[in-house]
Amino acid sequence: MNPRKQRFYIAAAALLAVIALVYSILGSPVVLWHNRQLKTALTGLTDTTITLEQAVPFSWDEVYSFAPYTSVEEIQQTIGAESYNLTESTSEGMCQLVFMDEGAVAAAVCAFPSDLGYDVVLTGWEGGAAHLTYGENVSFNVVREDGIVRLEQAA
């Protein structure tokens, strides 16, 4: 084999290995981008009431929230998909949201509201998870408190 071609194939294989490694550590760049869009949209809210359909700036068809300490395996079983972006909440009071779009994870957030700058509180818990479907147009009260924007599901 031509040494020049051989170097090209080695370089290409090394690049693919690096991309696979980064993907396995950081997860999907699309999910990371949607997480950032979500933070920007929610922390910039000025309305007093809003629906998630109005607030979330990317395409989604379902959103889940999970109880603290729910394992990644349980989350994957509930949502019916796998993703490197899913993590287990390790403490009470963490905001954990998983947005799905056509069966794939579109955004996955798991952090303290003080780190995110926002919190979304879903109701209707069943089996350790709360769930909303796009189009339900559930209203949320927008409350600003201690520099955190909290969306609380209206009664």
* Structural domain includes residue 134: yes
Res 11: pLDDT = 79
pLDDT in tens, 103-129: 999 999 999 999 999 999 998 888 889
* Structural domain includes residue 1: no
The answer to whether the CB of 41 falls within 8 A of the CB of 55 is: yes
Q: What total of structural domains would you count in the chain? A: 1
Res 22: pLDDT = 58
* Structural domain includes residue 139: yes
* Structural domain includes residue 110: yes
What band does 16 get if pLDDT is binned at 50, 70 and 90?
Answer: confident
* Structural domain includes residue 71: yes
140: enclosing H helix or E strand = strand 139-145
- Range 66-75, long-range pairs (CB < 8 A, 24+ positions): 66/96, 66/98, 66/128, 66/129, 66/130, 67/125, 67/128, 67/129, 68/92, 68/93, 68/94, 68/96, 70/96, 70/128, 70/129, 74/128
Range of the domain at 34: 28-153
pTM: predicted TM-score of the whole model, two decimal places: 0.83
* Structural domain includes residue 46: yes
Is the pLDDT at 1 greater than 60? The verdict is: yes
* Structural domain includes residue 76: yes
